[in-house]
Amino acid sequence: MITFSEFFQFNRELILFVYGLVFFILGFAIILQTRQSSRLDLARNLRWLAAFGIAHGFYEWGDLFIPIQANYLGETTIQFLYYLHKILLAVSFICLFEFGLAVLPSTRRTRGFHWASITLFILWIFFAFFVALPGNPDFNLWRRTANALARYFIGFPGGMLAAYGLRAHTLQRIKPLNVPKIVQMFRIAGVSLGVYAVVGGLVVPPVNFFPGNIVNTDTFTELIGAPPLVFRSLVGMITAFTIIRAMEIFSLETERRIEQLEQQQIINAEQERLARDLHDGAIQKVYTAGLLVESTARLAEPESEIDKRLKRAIVVLNDSILDLRRNLAELHAHSPSAHEPLPELLQKIAGNPSYNSMVAVTVKADLSAGKSLSAMRASHMYAIVNEAMANTARHAHARNVKIHARDIGEQLSIEIRDDGTGIPAEPKNGYGLRNMRDRARLLNGRIEFENDKGTVVTLTIPWND
C-alpha cells in the first residue's frame, strides 16, 4: 500500500494540470463576467486578478509541458523556455500585487505604491539573472533560486496586499450596498488570498539560503504529508469559487439600475399627469373664479367694504395662479428646453448614464438647418425616444443602439434600432407602449414597432403643429 506522499508524487502531473486549470478558470471567468458598463471600481480592478489567474495558470502548465518538450528540443531552447517560465511567474505575481494596490482604499494609498511593483520586479530580475545565474553550473539550482526569489520578493507581499486590499474594499465599497451574501463571498476570497500568500509565497523549492533552506516544499511535505501544490490547488479552488459567486454583484447592479429606470419612468408619468391636471383643472378653475370675482367687484360700490374684500380676493387668486404655474414649471423641469436644437436633444438622450452605461448609443442626424420643432412637440418627441431607450435598457439585452433622425419633407422621422432580442409578436400593451402611442397621436404622427435583427422603433411626425 502506497503512502500519501507517494500517491501525490505518482500523480504530480495531474495535480499540476488541475492547479493550473483552477487559476486559468479564475482568470477566464472574471474576463467573461466583468461588466464594461459597471460603475463599480471593482469591475476594473478585477482585471488584474484575471491577469494573475491566467498568467499563473500558464506558469503551472509550463512545469508540466516543458519537460515533455525536452524530448524534442535542444538544451539551449529548453533553457530559454525556462527563462520565460520564471519571468511568467514573476509577472503573474506582479498582477496580483497590482490587484492589491487597485482595491486598496485611496485613503491608504501613497504615490510610492505605484512604483512598488516595478521596483520589486526589477530587483527580482537583478538578483535572479545578474547575481544568481552567472557562473552557476547547476541550472536546476538556478531555477529553484529564481522561483524562491520571485515568491519572496513579489508573491508573498503581493498576496498579502491583495488579501488586505480586497477586505478593505469590501468593507468600504461593497458592504454599504446591503448585499450580505456577496460581502461574505468577498471576505472568504480575501482570506483565501492571504492563505495563498503564505503557502505560495513562503513555501519555496529547496535552496541554499535562509529561509528556503529550512522552510521549503520538501520539509512541508514531510511535516504535512502532502505537497504544497495540493494546498495551493485547494486555496485556488476556494478563491475561484468565491470570486465567481461574488461577481453576481454586477448582475445585481444591472437589475437595480433597470429598477431605477422603471421607477423614474413612473415618476415622470405621474409628474406629467399632475401637470395636465394642474393646467387643465386647477389653474383653469382658479382663473375662472378670478374672472367671476372681478365681474362681481364691478357691481360693488367703489371703496365699499365689499369692494375692498373682493379686490383682496382677486389678489389672492392671482397669487394662487402664479404659484400653480410655478409648480407646473417645476414638474416640467425634466422636459427639454425650447431653444435646444434637435440633434442636441438626441445627444442628451445618448449621453444619459442610465443608458450609455448599459448599451453603446450612437446618434445620426440628417436634418435641414432651418427646421425645428416647437417646445411642445420637442417635449413629446423627447419623451417618446426616452421611453424607447428605457425599454431597450430594461428588456432588449442589446449591446448597441442607433438613433437616426431624418428630414423627409414635411415630416420628421426618428428611428431607434437595437441589436437585442427583439420585440414579442404580441407585446403586452403596458403603460410605456401606450404612452408612446398616445404621444405620437397627440403629435398627429405615427409610431411603428418591428423586428429586424433586434427591435426597430420608427416615429414619424409632422414638423409643424
Q: Are 125 and 186 in contact (CB under 8 A)?
A: no
Q: Are 348 and 381 in contact (CB under 8 A)?
A: no
Whether residue 221 sits in one domain with residue 94:
yes
Each residue's pLDDT tens digit, 196-227: 999 999 999 999 999 999 999 999 988 988 88
Residue 396 counted as domain residue: yes
Tell me the three cell numbers of residue 297: 367687484
Each residue's pLDDT tens digit, 313-334: 888 877 777 777 777 666 655 5
Q: How far apart are the first and last CA of the chain?
A: 93
Torsion of CA 33, 35, 38, 43, to 10 degrees: 60
Distance CA 457, CA 90 (A): 53
Residue 336 counted as domain residue: no
Residue 128 counted as domain residue: yes
Question: Rounded to two decimals, what is the model's pTM?
Answer: 0.69
Whether residue 286 sits in one domain with residue 159:
no
Q: Which residue, of 287, 311, 331, is where some domain finishes?
A: 331
Distance CA 172, CA 182 (A): 14
Q: Are 401 and 418 in contact (CB under 8 A)?
A: yes
Tell me the three cell numbers of residue 139: 541550472
What is the model's pLDDT at position 352?
A: 80
What are the beta bridge partners of residue 361? 401
Mean pLDDT for all residues in the chain? 85
Domain range enclosing 269: 261-331
Q: How far is CA 187 from the centre of its chain?
A: 20
Each residue's pLDDT tens digit, 402-458: 999 998 888 999 999 999 888 877 766 666 787 788 888 888 889 999 888 889 999
> How many Cβ atoms sit within 10 Å of the Cβ of residue 14?
11
Residue 255 counted as domain residue: no
What is the model's pLDDT at position 328?
A: 66
What is the model's pLDDT at position 399?
A: 85
What is the model's pLDDT at position 375?
A: 77
- Across the beta sheet with 446-451, the strand order is 360-366, 400-408, 411-418, 455-462, 446-451
Q: Is the pLDDT of residue 270 over 80?
A: no
SS3 400: strand
**Choice between 461 and 353, residue whose per-residue pLDDT is larger:** 461
Which residues contact residue 223 at a Cβ distance below 8 angstroms, ignoring those fewer than 6 apart? none
What is the model's pLDDT at position 3?
A: 67
CATH number at residue 204: 1.20.1070
Whether residue 298 sits in one domain with residue 376:
no
Whether residue 290 sits in one domain with residue 227:
no
Which residues contact residue 280 at a Cβ distance below 8 angstroms, ignoring those fewer than 6 apart? none
What is the model's pLDDT at position 342?
A: 86
**Choice between 382 and 95, residue whose per-residue pLDDT is larger:** 95
Q: What angle do CA 267, 273, 277 make, to 5 degrees?
A: 145
Whether residue 60 sits in one domain with residue 186:
yes
Whether residue 201 sits in one domain with residue 76:
yes
Whether residue 312 sits in one domain with residue 291:
yes
Residue 130 counted as domain residue: yes
Whether residue 99 sits in one domain with residue 21:
yes
CATH number at residue 418: 3.30.565.10
Distance CA 362, CA 127 (A): 53
Whether residue 24 sits in one domain with residue 43:
yes
**Choice between 33 and 281, residue whose per-residue pLDDT is larger:** 33
What is the model's pLDDT at position 157?
A: 95
Whether residue 444 sits in one domain with residue 354:
yes
Percent over 70 (pLDDT), the chain: 86
**Choice between 55 and 392, residue whose per-residue pLDDT is larger:** 55
What is the model's pLDDT at position 107?
A: 57
Q: Which residue, of 177, 211, 246, is where some domain finishes?
A: 246
Whether residue 318 sits in one domain with residue 450:
no
What are the beta bridge partners of residue 414? 405, 459
Residue 274 counted as domain residue: yes
Distance CA 278, CA 298 (A): 28
Whether residue 174 sits in one domain with residue 41:
yes
Burial 101-117 (b: 16+ CB within 10 A, else e): bbbbeeeeeeeeeeebb
Q: Which residue, of 331, 366, 386, is where some domain finishes?
A: 331
| Strand bridging mode 360-366 / 400-408 | parallel
Tally of structural domains, the chain:
3
How many Cα atoms are found within 13 Å in the side-chain-facing hemisphere of 264? 17
Calculate mean pLDDT across residues 243-247.
92
Q: Is the peptide bond before 206 cis (omega within 30 degrees of 0)?
A: no
Exposed, middle or buried, 447 (CB in 10 Å: 0-12/13-18/19+)? Answer: buried
Residue 12 counted as domain residue: yes
Total H helices, total E strands in the chain? 17, 5
| Cα distances (angstroms) measured from residue 80 to each of 65, 73, 76, 84, 150 | 14, 11, 6, 6, 18
